Structure 1
Amino acid sequence: MLIAAAALAIASWSFLGSGFADEKAVKLPPPAQDVHATAATETAVFAGGCFWGVQAVFQHTKGVLNAVSGYAGGEQNTAHYEMVGSGRTGHAESVQVTYDPKQVSFGKLLQVYFSVAHDPTTLNRQGPDAGPQYRSAVFYRNADQKRVAESYIAQLDAAKVFPARIVTEVSPLKGFYPAEAYHQDYATRHPDSPYIATFDLPKIANLKATLPQLYREQPVLVSAQSKG
């Protein structure tokens, strides 16, 4: 991922000629199993490359109440962007999604995640970003989330909906640590960034085209939550 301070350095780089394919979406069946939550709100944590794009996708998903970029998989004392970027902290760039289970289920969030938020078949890489901090991972909070995530991966692999096997890890959530403020709502605040325009805005367009019943035009932003 290219941090904000480096944006000027890439302004003249044509991503379309850089060898990276345009963002693709895959139409997927819904999960055969799901979590039937009864609480007013639930949370889920997903990792799938640079958190800017994953956050943006879930911010445009109906039923999502908040989506926060951050770090999961490592210790609290290493949950800092510069340290995570080394690839040696155990953290993955992640997004914590708070949602209303009456409007959208954990299974539907998984469908969004695997269909448009990232490519679950690339190991420790998404687009131009490489390293374990960009790995594909579902960090489950309870046994139901673990069961449904593992079942859906097996379902998709059996259906051969992707050209390769899914490499998404399913791991217990030990802790989620919000990222620095300048990473929050990044795609909304920097739509003209070459990185955002090439790798993240297409994800949002794919959500609208592929799962229109789950798409919301106005994103739910972290900045709006903090003002409230």
Structure 2
Amino acid sequence: MVAPVGLAAQAAKSPAPALETAVFAGGCFWGVEAVFEHLKGVRSVVSGYTGGNVVNPGYDYVSSGRTGHAEAVRVTFDPKVVSYETLLTVFFTVAHDPTELNRQGPDIGTQYRSAIYFSSADQQQKAAAAIAQLNAAKTYRKPVVTQVAPLEKFYDAERYHQNYLYSHMDQPYIVYNDLPKIDALRKRFPSLWEDTSGK
């Protein structure tokens, strides 16, 4: 006797949505994380460290600038809803200033560098093309200094750094450096905006 196919079995046969990941470094990860969390099609954003040579680095060690790591975010997204190119556009226009070398605002050091860490040849090509286009169009008064490098290992930051912005809305650093990025995203890309308030 053949048992009826239950809902669980039917669900198991359904293909899972094909999600992709992108990794960006653009200064302090608090604001960059919050920007990407507000994009339609983004499923999760995790703050962390990458690009260095120290295994399992901690925040204080990374902040010292001696690990080679940069503060970064890993964005998991649905490419059927939001494209990698769109993520690049948001990264370059509202998430940070891609013309600042080894710093963002008040944060100075290689740990705050502008970088894109690719996980495929397609991402590498699209990131390089976006930078070339911005420089050719002279979108900024200074050239884009964003590094494009292969993603090797991403280390999740400590739990208290995850979704930090929405737990510290009144903190002066957040008010002056990060909330303006959220406002800029909402105004410049209203069709992409999703009011998640830190999903």
210, 213, 221: which one aligns with 2:191: 213
User: What letter corresponds to residue 103 of structure 1 in structure 2?
Assistant: V
Q: Take 2:42 and 2:53, find their aligned partners in 1: how far apart are those partners?
A: 27
Q: How do 1:50-129 and structure 2 match up within 5 A?
A: 50-75=28-53, 77-129=55-107
Residue among 148, 154, 164 paired with 1:170: 148
Matching of residues 1-228 of structure 1 within 5 Å: 40-75=18-53, 77-221=55-199
TM-score, reference length from structure 1? 0.78
CA distance in 1: counterparts of 2:79 and 2:143, whole angstroms: 29
One-letter amino acid of the counterpart of residue 120, structure 1? P
5+ long unaligned stretches in structure 2: 1-16
Indicate conservation of the 8 Å contact 1:76/1:177, yes or no.
Answer: no
Shift of 1:220: 4.9
TM-score (ref. length: structure 2): 0.90
Distance 2:54 2:80 in 1: 32
Alignment-mate amino acid for residue 162 of structure 2: Q
Shift of 1:191: 0.5
Residue type of the partner of 1:65? Answer: R
* C-alpha contact (below 8 Å) 2:32/2:73 kept by paired residues: yes
SS of the aligned residue for 1:170 comes to strand
Deviating more after overlay: 71-80 vs 58-67: 71-80
Q: Secondary structure at the match of 1:44?
A: strand
Separation in 2, partners of 1:156, 1:89: 30
1:127 Cα shift?
Answer: 0.6
Number of aligned positions between the proteins? 183
Cα separation, 2, equivalents of 1:186 and 1:197: 13
Structure 1 runs not aligned, ≥5 long: 1-38, 222-228
Distance in 1 between residues matched to 2:198 and 2:124, nearest whole Å: 26
Letter in 2 for 1:142: S
Q: Please tell me whether the aligned partners of residues 48 and 155 of structure 2 are also in contact (alpha carbons under 8 angstroms).
A: yes
Overall identity of the aligned pairs, in %: 57
Q: In structure 1, how many angstroms separate the alpha carbons of the residues matched to 2:131 and 2:178?
A: 24
CA offset at residue 75 of structure 1? Answer: 3.3
Q: Cα distance 1:72–1:92, how it changes in 2: closer, same or farther (>3 A)?
A: same
Question: Which amino acid letter does the alignment assign opposite residue 194 of structure 1?
Answer: P
**What is the rounded CA distance, in whole Å, between the counterparts of 1:185 and 1:157 in structure 2?**
33
Highest Rg: 1 or 2? 2
Task: Quote the Cα distance in structure 1 between the aligned partners of 2:186 and 2:39.
Answer: 9
RMSD value, Cα: 1.1
Q: Is this contact kept in 2: 1:78–1:89, CA < 8 A?
A: no
**Are the equivalent residues in 1 in contact too, given 2:116–2:147 (CA < 8 A)?**
yes
Q: 1:211 and 1:64, CA in 2 relative to 1: closer, same or farther beyond 3 A?
A: same
